[in-house]
Amino acid sequence: MWDKKLGRFLAIVAVAMTFALAVLGRSWWCPLGDPLPWSLDIWSSHNSQHLFDPYSLTHVQHGIGIFLLLGLISKGRLSFPVRARVTAVIEAAWEFIENTPFIINRYREATISLDYYGDCIANSISDYLMCLLGLFVANRIGWKGGLLLFVILETVCLFWIRDSLLLNIIMLIAPNDFIREWQSH
């Protein structure tokens, strides 16, 4: 399952992502200077500016979801190292794209994230690692366990922050006033 080549590849992807985010001008840490490693309030300027926030759970879901989709598409023929490499590249690409002005503005226009100004680099690195955690857990517990964990995390997010990975995708692609109104309460 794990080998040095895979570890090097995952590290190289993380370094490349970090470099790309620095070139985009992302800050390394919370611009407000708060030293805590977490922010639990999605309505504050600290969201996405620390290592962990409620959306960290959705990045675990990224890893689970990509693992499951790759297994479905390949009918189980892709090895774990190949799935891990593909997942790492997809997540790193998303972290870059998510922090471009176009997507930042899209979040602010279409979702409940009105005060979203992008992630700090530390948060993006943590999101990347959360995705890999989801991938490794899904590989360990299999597709049924992975699907169950995905649903559990989706449900926890819905009740905790009135947002989730699936709602986030819906709101980015096809904003819905009913969902936005429900999320605002």
What's CA 129's distance to the chain center, in Å? 9
Length of the chain: 185
Report pLDDT digits (tens) over 95-136: 999 999 999 999 888 887 767 889 999 999 999 999 999 999
Tell me the two tokens of residue 14: 């993380």
- Any idea which residue has 């922090």 for tokens? 99
Domain annotation covers residue 72: yes
Half-sphere exposure of 152 (CA within 13 A, CB side): 9
Report pLDDT digits (tens) over 29-38: 999 888 999 9
Report pLDDT digits (tens) over 136-152: 999 999 999 999 999 99
What is the tally of structural domains in the chain?
Answer: 1
Domain annotation covers residue 26: no
Say how far apart CA 103 and CA 118 lie, in whole Å: 9
Q: What is the pLDDT of residue 109?
A: 86
Domain annotation covers residue 43: no
Report whether pLDDT(44) > 90: no
Angle (CA) 169 67 101, round 5°:
35
Say how far apart CA 9 and CA 84 lie, in whole Å: 9
Domain annotation covers residue 33: no
Q: What is the pLDDT of residue 184?
A: 86
Say how far apart CA 101 and CA 65 lie, in whole Å: 26
Q: Containing domain of residue 79, as a range? A: 4-17+49-183
Domain annotation covers residue 34: no
pTM (2 d.p.): 0.95
